[in-house]
Structure 1
């Protein structure tokens, strides 16, 4: 089915749902209000209150979805919203990488050329020219920083193009790039795969693939990077070579097949080292807020005299030195004539990272805050050890290679091991028992059909709990309305809802049968039918690290809202409206936040099973770590700001040593002057 006709089907489906719910609201209101005002003892009539409230809330949501589907026919609106979101997102990620308000000006040189080009020329060449570009640089030289800058510059230069920074490490080895990229866009930018495919085929998407080297275990095992690069080089859109910009480490690039590097029209650029004048300007402005700051100049001179000029040439290490010096200057305990960062502390990258970590959290910080920082860094070290273990052993769970760089909240399930599976199942059982107890009280005395339905429902629910609690991976909510037109889902969904409606008619009556059909159809669709999609395809937006979990939570809340009318009716029939409706509201809120929300529930189970060696509030924890400069946002994941930081926390960080120094109030005055040994 073509995208245009598919969208028409979806609009008609959403319109039918809106009409049906509107009719339910009108009829139930007209039936309930007069009856309840005439005789408030009619608890069965009062139960319609739940139907009214549930239908109104769901109706407002469906109207929003229908508006979103109508806008899908206007590609310009989608592009405009994506560009607006990207402008905000790219600016925020650049600030996270810079760590100060100052910009490090980098220059680039094309292969075979003798003169450097600046960022604007690089972006224009990548955008206007037919060539596909590859940007090379040593670790910490500014590849990710440049990728974000180029995307932002393209965003400013061409209003018809949407530049997307794509972490190349998320490419699934063996999958075609033109099939994988729409799925990536759908997941991380909240658009349907059909819309993503349309944008790609029309040439509106300019992918900036950051870190091809991240596909490799080490600098010698480069076969995955070769496969991706070959696909990119052979990628065609409308019979023309597709435009892209990719970044890669120089060592990985040198190890790639020479035929692959030489026999394709790939324009290669190299990031030039930061000049001494630019480095001193950046240090002065970052530390002292002026173009010329004496202590910053002394620091740069001492590093140059000691043969450490390479530190000033690397944007990563330069920003680390600036932030370390600024942290120490902010303590107001440093002698004015004293060098903020000694040459001993910059003996190597590991020593610089260790001293930078020690300086964080001691700036004008009270003792409780410093101790909380120690606990945060202890949690962060567990994440680092998990990623380092995945990298060194290439661990695979249920056919999926575990991430070695990305901290993805809904993909951290194996951190706690199999104990988390058991914990998750126990949580589900405990939270499901009250619902089955009430269902037995309500249905058991209503005949053999009610009893059989209750037993069958309990068996199906138990099977679903076992299945979801023992699966290593759970699919997240994805914005794909097209599953509504897939008969494999829609027929099973409708048939199951009809069976439930017929049983409700025989046991409870026609009105309850209609409500049960609508409730079952929507609940099945939200959870297992049309792919948990009803909550996500409203407008393009940057999903972000917590976006997948938020979408999952939205779906679970909607599932609970769908169940609210029928539960409010049943509770009101048994206990009266004054008690039944609040109880139904409370029960749906609890279930919507726990049992129905598989990904959030699993994270809770993982924390418990890991004996609280993981943070209790992962969202706030990772946001604090991002604010302190240890991790950065990379699409739907967090990544350590640099591999040196990851290795430090995985192999070298000593929580007991940091705790002892944080306990003493004089800790900010003491600086380490000798490097720590690094465990390779």
Structure 2
């Protein structure tokens, strides 16, 4: 016995060393991140351009400030030259300003993709982050690390090291979206600029890119609040010639637009000229009148704001009609407006009220399936716990008859019940569940095999310890047999090994944003849970078969009898153990709870609807989140009842 305990201690020491997190290879981690960002932003670029691949080559002009300006800025530039323009800045700090819909985000994305195409191994990876979700009481570097972990599923230590070592170039989108009203003083935007002005890279100001509406920039500058040591550029209006080239490449009958373009050329301050002056409004108008109507009707409007509202009100039905013509799934326009309006009001309330829940500031732009539960309030967490509880009851319901039939296995039943209760408790405590992914393919790599050594060792130690704890009370008792130890090892070891492998493969797993869309995260989480649950069920069936073969070989006298027993065991454990996969899949379960709690306000298959809305051009995908195509569309839908 003493020798066995000594062996357990030795194994524990070895496990402690194996569980130590592996050193992070920053070059490799940066390379993986760069690939993930490029994949995500290429898809985002296509969505921002309305399914096209050629952006309008908008111009921009340098906006000089009295002092603390980055050197190397030239007076003018174009979208096609943005990478060269940025590389000439010292320090490399750029503020992209412009009117609503001027193409600030497109310019930022174009810069990111150009930098990624030209990137050397030691250069930082540009990563776009929405400023609307930043609680400025949290340090900037911590928030950026959280964004990397949430969007690209990096481990927090890896994300933090990438930030600390300057391996990430922050592309901070939407400074103007941090506050609901500019007139209120933009307190969050002001706090953000204060933090960005402290952002350092060694002895120099840290490189970054920020996008913001001109009105917000000017309002803050009037209070002497601005981004220091940066070059501010203003995105120029689309020219009449650029607008004409745009419609000629986008519509089936461009001649219908020539009177509108000609009118805008001759009346540069009219409502039609206003519509053609920004890529967003131009796309809006083309979508609306390509679906139905004559674009000459634009000339009847004299008020630019009235024309803007007219186009926004007609955009959703028009996008649905064009998507229908392409042979895609169709929802009724009133359904889409109601569902998107509900989501838009939720996001707008988050911005206006600066809402926080579970220690997180609620985003005013991002719709992430497993993080959308605050839209239903605490009811979603209650339903989530109820789902876990039901799965737990099913999982332990077999223990009472099992313990009555096999009294010597009561300790095993107690351990199993405690394990299930622990899983439910851990699930209930988590306000923000993280999607989990199991990657068996990693066992083919040296890194993957090293990742599971520690957890599997711990599983073996725990199995031996529990087996001893079960057997010791029966030593010297009537009917005791050494085979009892083997029986318990057969029962517990497979479950321990499955748990160790799952933890090891997940613990050091670094996945990227899925190219299959944001819905893939909850699907992978459920698939991983089912894999763990049914693997454990199969392992228990095999273990039970082996244990009974040792303890009572009589029933296994024939091959047919053994096969029937094994099949019954697989079905039995598949039902009562496999259900634990639902408790494991916490992100999927929270998403299901959210859908159940909002079934009268949102579609039952919310993920499929959001994916459809993205394909229809109403939403866009940013990393693992859905966002409205434009903030103006979100605000317009938020006002619908």
Give the drift of 1:533: 3.4
- Residue 83 of structure 2 corresponds to residue 110 of structure 1: no
Distance between the aligned counterparts of 1:154 and 1:118, measured in 2? Answer: 16
Q: Which residue of structure 2 lines up, in the alignment, with residue 228 of structure 1?
A: 192
By how many angstroms is 1:126 displaced? 2.3
* Structure 1 residue corresponding to 2:495, chosen from 503, 519, 522: 519
Of residues 6, 31, 34 in structure 2, which corresponds to 1:83? 34
1:215: how far off?
A: 2.2
In the alignment, what sits opposite 1:165?
128
Q: Cα distance 1:299–1:512, how it changes in 2: closer, same or farther (>3 A)?
A: farther
Q: What residue in structure 1 maps to residue 237 of structure 2?
A: 273
Q: Give the conservation status (yes or no) of the 8 Å contact 1:407–1:638.
A: yes
Residue 188 of structure 1 corresponds to: 151
Does 2:522 match 1:549?
yes
Q: TM-score, normalised by structure 1?
A: 0.73
Give the aligned partner of residue 21 of structure 1.
Answer: none
2:379 counterpart (405, 408, 419): 419
| Cα deviation code 1:386-435 (max 9, x no counterpart) | 22333333333334332222212121112223433443333233333332
1:177 aligns with 2:153: no
Q: In 2, Cα distance between the equivalents of 1:202 and 1:473? A: 28
Asked whether the equivalents of residues 208 and 245 of structure 1 are also in contact (C-alpha less than 8 Å), the reply is yes
Q: Which runs of 5+ in 2 are unaligned?
A: 1-13, 65-72, 439-446, 475-483, 549-554, 556-563
The 5 A counterparts of 1:407-556 are 407-447=367-407, 450-455=409-414, 457-458=416-417, 461-462=420-421, 464-465=423-424, 468-469=427-428, 472-477=431-436, 499-503=465-469, 509-510=485-486, 512-513=488-489, 516-517=492-493, 519-520=495-496, 523=499, 533-534=506-507, 536-537=509-510, 545-546=518-519, 548-556=521-529
| Aligned-residue offset at 1:153 | 1.5
Task: Please name the residue that 1:401 is paired with.
Answer: 361
Q: For 1:377 and 1:338, locate their aligned partners in 2 and report how far apart those are by CA, in whole Å.
A: 24
For residue 345 of structure 2, the aligned residue among 385, 407, 421 is: 385
Q: Distance in 1 between matches of 2:78 and 2:323?
A: 40
1:652 counterpart SS class: coil
Q: State how far apart, in whole Å, the 2-side matches of 1:467 and 1:477 are.
A: 14
Structure 1 CA distance, aligned partners of 2:297 and 2:471?
Answer: 79
8 Å contact kept, 1:406–1:638? yes
Distance 1:439 1:111, change over 3 A: same
Match of 1:649 in 2: 637
The alpha carbon displacement at 1:136 in A equals 1.1
Contact map agreement 1:93 1:632 (CA 8 A) in 2: yes
Aligned residue pairs: how many?
Answer: 571
Change (3 A) 1:271 1:403: same
The offset of 1:635, in angstroms, is 2.4
> In the aligned structure 1, how far is the partner of 2:467 from the partner of 2:519?
37
Cα offset, 1:577, TM superposition:
0.8
Q: 1:203 to 1:189 in 2, by over 3 A?
A: same
Separation (CA, whole Å) in 2 of partners of 1:88 and 1:433: 43
TM-score by length of 2: 0.77
Q: Distance in 2 between matches of 1:545 and 1:202?
A: 29
In 2: Cα distance, 1:471 partner to 1:114 partner: 51
Residue number in structure 2 paired with 1:95: 46
CA 364–76 in structure 1, closer or farther in 2 if over 3 Å, else same: closer
Superposition RMSD in Å: 4.1
Contact 1:394 / 1:401 at 8 angstroms: preserved in 2? yes
Q: 2 CA distance for matches of 1:478 and 1:577?
A: 29
2:627 maps to 1:627: no
Q: How far has the Cα of 1:312 moved from its partner?
A: 0.9
CA distance in 2 between partners of 1:383 and 1:621 (Å) = 12
Shift of 1:566: 3.8
Residue 544 (structure 1) shift: 5.6
Seen in structure 2, the aligned counterparts of structure 1 residues 202 and 396 have a Cα distance that, compared at 3 Å, is closer
SS in 2 for 1:348: helix
Query: What is the alpha-carbon distance in structure 2 between the residues aligned to residue 647 and residue 258 of structure 1?
Result: 26
Compared with structure 1, are the counterparts of its residues 478 and 196 closer, same or farther at alpha carbon in structure 2 (3 Å cutoff)?
farther
1:51 matched to which residue of 2?
Answer: none
Kindly report which structure 2 residues correspond to 1:248-259, keeping only aligned pairs within 5 A, or say none: 248-256=212-220
> Match of 1:280, SS?
helix
Query: 1:238 Cα deviation (Å)?
Result: 3.2
Partner of 1:355: 314
Does structure 2 conserve the Cα–Cα contact (< 8 Å) formed by 1:82 and 1:541? Answer: no
Establish whether residue 578 from structure 1 lines up as the match of residue 551 from structure 2.
no
In 2, Cα distance between equivalents of 1:363 and 1:267:
41
Q: Which moved more, 1:169-178 or 1:257-266?
A: 257-266
Distance 1:191 1:391 in 2: 27
Cα distance between partner residues in 1 of 2:614 and 2:376: 23
Q: Supply the distance in 1 between the matched residues of 2:27 and 2:513 (Cα, whole angstroms).
A: 12
Q: Secondary structure in 2 aligned to 1:269?
A: strand
**Partner SS state of residue 187, structure 1:** helix
Alignment of 1:319-334 (within 5 A): 319-328=283-292
Deviation at residue 141 of structure 1 after TM alignment: 1.4
Tell me whether 195-204 or 632-641 shows the greater mean CA deviation.
195-204
Is contact 1:625-1:631 (8 Å) kept? Answer: yes
CA drift of 1:167 comes to 1.7
- Following superposition, the deviation at residue 644 of structure 1 comes to 2.3
Answer whether contact 2:96 2:233 (CA < 8 A) is retained.
yes
Q: Is the 8 A contact 1:500 1:517 kept in 2?
A: no
